[in-house]
Amino acid sequence: MRLWISLYLPNLVLNLLCPDHQSRSVVVVDQQRVLQCSALALSAGIQIGDSWAEAQARCPEVEPLAHQAHLEEEALKTVATALMQYTPEISLLNNNSVVLDVTASLRLFKGARALYKNIATTVAQMGFEARIAQAPSGLGAWLLASAAVRLRRCLQTTTLQRRLDYLPCSHLPALTPYLNWLDRIGCQRLKTLRQLPRSGLARRTHPDVLKQLDQAYGRQPEHYAWFQALANFSQQISLPEPLTHTNALGFFATRLIQKLAAWLSQRHLACTKLLFTLKHSNSRKPFSNTQFSLSFSAAVRHANDMLEVLHAKLATLTLPAPVNALALSVTHTQLPDAPPSSLFPEPGDNPNEQQAIIDQLIARLGSGQVLQAAPKNDYRPEISNQWVPYTPAKALSFNAMTSQPWGPRPLWLLKQPLPLNTQRHRPYYQAELRLLYGPERIEDGWWDTPVLRDYFVAQAPDGTLYWLFQNRGQDNAWFLHGIFA
């Protein structure tokens, strides 16, 4: 048995042009007719199909938005692309609807209930309102999604039949030309329609009526034209109004990220770098576009991994001017990393989790503020202790960092050794220090900067460990060179 999920998005243009429509009385108008209404507009008595004059009479403070068919089509494609992370078998239907064949995806996403919730979460994160239905037939799922019914999830054909029987005949598209005739003979619901003689119904209507009826009830196979994503990802969103805050910008950037994650899933790819372009509009002073990139230490393909780095970057971003359009393009793609080879991985041992934390730090602090150790083969501490900006290709393993031939070394070295006083022939730094280990003698650099030192590990009364040295051949003065973590 197959399983389908259908989404009906009644307020596509409203979601695009007015993201805060939940708190405003807004309607979408086309040819002086109301096509979409916000919740406040509906509560004021405005109904879909009303004329603009009737809407103003019922709610004088209502705000009109011009219907834009091209935006509606693009938004539906955006939703379809975002949902391709769950299944490649997606088809666009009329009336702002999408149907998905999720039969082959149930096991991967841990069952029908979990998959249903994942799809609902994805659409909500993109800022769209959707009525979602689940049924053994695609047309049946679409009928339940588009109808104002409470129960829209069913897994068995018998359950689907009971739910469809109580739907009005007007919901079946093929019956639209015959609704007056059906009303005259008292046939108002699909249950009554199914009880009519099939031969007589076929003679008095179009063959598509019986075909759609059988497909909706799961008695006849369905055929759809599957939606195809673009070969290269470069998408742009025109904002409904100029934005001056990065928090509002993140709402639209999330839509692009969701769409990108689905595109990567369909292409079986992962990305290591994204490029966002912010397009400004200011009549007084021209501004060039603002660009910022998101870099990932490991290849990512899931939206949540990219969104965490995005939010960290937006928190530090300053907008030079209002933004009226947002674009996203992928600059680096590759095959996804292989899954972990360990059968029972320990918590925190997943390299992807560790890299995700580093990516967020780089996005928030800047690429030059996150450093990694790059020790040099030299016995002089100030030369061997090198730190460079973090680069995944140059990252060192723990074994590589700890397999040096010298003794214990602190991670924190002072830029210049600090001279110390002595008390009772012992080094003194805020308190008298007690020598624990040493000496470690270093004689090196005779060719450029000679070093003749004896190093010791010393402990303060509070337990802090310090790294000290004495210059040989001098007055036995002590110097503080490092602090152990």
Per-residue pLDDT, 117: 92
**Residue 369 included in any domain:** no
* pLDDT confidence bin for 403, thresholds 50/70/90: very low
pLDDT, one tens digit per residue, over 18-34 is 777 777 888 888 888 88
Q: Is residue 372 part of a domain?
A: no
> Are both 39 and 106 inside the same structural domain?
yes
And the tokens for 245? Answer: 């805050």
Encode pLDDT of 100-123 as tens digits.
Answer: 999 998 988 989 999 999 999 988
- Which DSSP category does 102 fall into? -
The answer to the question of residue 375 being in a domain is no
Put the strands of the sheet holding 234-243 in their side by side order: 234-243, 323-334, 270-280, 290-300
Q: Is 396 within a domain? A: no
In angstroms, rounded to a whole number, what is the distance separating the alpha carbons of residues 9 and 153?
Answer: 17
Same domain, 154 and 46: yes
Count of beta carbons in the 10 Å neighbourhood of residue 279: 17
Q: Could you tell me if 7 and 145 are in contact, meaning their C-beta atoms sit under 8 angstroms apart?
A: yes
Strand segments, DSSP code E, in 97-156 are: 97-101, 131-135
Same domain, 183 and 89: yes
Residue that terminates a domain, selected from 187, 216, 245: 216
Q: Residue 270 in contact with residue 333, Cβ under 8 Å?
A: yes
Q: Is the pLDDT of residue 474 over 70?
A: no
Helix then strand then coil, in percent of the chain rounded to 5, is 35, 30, 35
Structural domain count of the chain = 3
Same domain for 92 and 196, yes or no, is: yes
Q: Domain end: 216, 245, 263, which one?
A: 216
CATH number at residue 244: 3.30.1490.100
Report the candidate in 407, 408, 411, 416 with the shortest Cα–Cα distance to residue 479.
416
Average pLDDT over residues 281-297: 74
Q: What is the pLDDT, as a whole number, of residue 355?
A: 67
**What are the E-state strand segments in 114-263?**
131-135, 234-243
Asked if residue 27 lies in contact with residue 46, where contact means CB atoms within 8 angstroms, the answer is yes
- Domain of residue 188, CATH code: 3.30.70.270
Q: Decide if 229 is inside a domain.
A: no
Q: Are residues 241 and 139 in the same domain?
A: no
Residue 343 counted as domain residue: no
> Would the pLDDT of 283 be above 80?
no
Do 206 and 260 sit in the same domain of this protein?
A: no
- What is the domain range of residue 252? 234-336+348-363
- The fraction of the chain above a pLDDT of 90, given in percent, is 15
* Percent of the chain with pLDDT strictly greater than 70: 89
311 and 254 in contact (C-beta within 8 Å)?
no
Within 10 angstroms of residue 32's Cβ, the number of other Cβ atoms is 12
* Residues 117, 115: Cα–Cα separation, whole Å: 5
Give the span between the Cα atoms of 347 and 360, in whole angstroms. 19
Query: Does 201 lie in the same domain as 126?
Result: yes
Residue 376 lies in a domain: no
For residues 366 and 89, which has the higher predicted lDDT (pLDDT)? 89
Residues 173 and 277 in one domain: no
pLDDT, average across residues 123-138: 88
